[in-house]
Amino acid sequence: MVERVRPIERLEKTVHLRIDPNDETTTLEDVLAKIPELQRKHPDREFFFDGDEYAICSRPKRPRAPLAH
């Protein structure tokens, strides 16, 4: 029997903070300090730095599958 697999749903990505790559006053420390602040405000989201967007973004957290023993 062939199991039908649903197509992967496109995860909803939200841009929270765009960073101007030409602004020399913004440091990596500034960017890294902003992520925990956003995580506290949005605990249901997973945060990451999107290099293409040059922005801190998030997507909804997906439940993790239990580990097989």
Q: What is the pLDDT along the chain (69 residues), one digit of tens a residue?
A: 444 444 444 568 999 999 999 999 999 899 999 999 999 999 999 999 999 999 999 999 988 777 776
pLDDT at residue 10, rounded to an integer = 55
List, in sequence order, every residue forming a beta bridge with 60; answer none if it has no partner: 45
Q: How many CA atoms lie within 13 A of 49 on its CB side?
A: 11
56/34 Cα distance (integer angstroms): 9
- Residue ranges making up the domain that contains 45: 23-60
- On whether residue 4 sits in a domain, the answer given is no
Q: Is residue 31 part of a domain?
A: yes
Answer yes or no: are the C-beta atoms of 58 and 43 closer than 8 Å. Answer: no
2 located within any domain: no
Domain count, the chain: 1
